[in-house]
Amino acid sequence: MEHRRPVGRPAWTLGDPSEEGVHVFRLAWRHDARAETAALHGQELQAVELLEYAGEDVANGMVAVSFAFPDGRVTVSNGLDENLLEFGEPDPGFRRQRSDLA
């Protein structure tokens, strides 16, 4: 299978594009990003995992998404009032649903 890298600058639109006042977010790598995130720039995404937390606390059932790269991993989860970024292997309390991109 041929590997393809994303091309262009994706946009995320909030609202109906035919209406006035639509918000468009241009998604791109930031040069002022956290060092752990910046270290992933340019690496090929190897796998995406949907994670469901199976703990004995209030977070039970929370869903997170984890992105695996050759030299690192970032997991995005619910940090209550903000998104939480975690680097390295996900907490062992998560159940994994893996999707290899190869």
> For 21-72, how does the pLDDT look when each residue is reduced to its tens digit (9 = 90+)?
667 777 776 778 789 988 998 899 998 999 998 878 777 788 899 999 999 9
Whether the CB-CB separation of 68 and 47 falls below 8 Å is answered with yes
Q: Which residue has the tokens 């703990």?
A: 55
Is the pLDDT reported for residue 10 higher than 70? no
Alpha-carbon span 88 to 74, nearest angstrom: 7
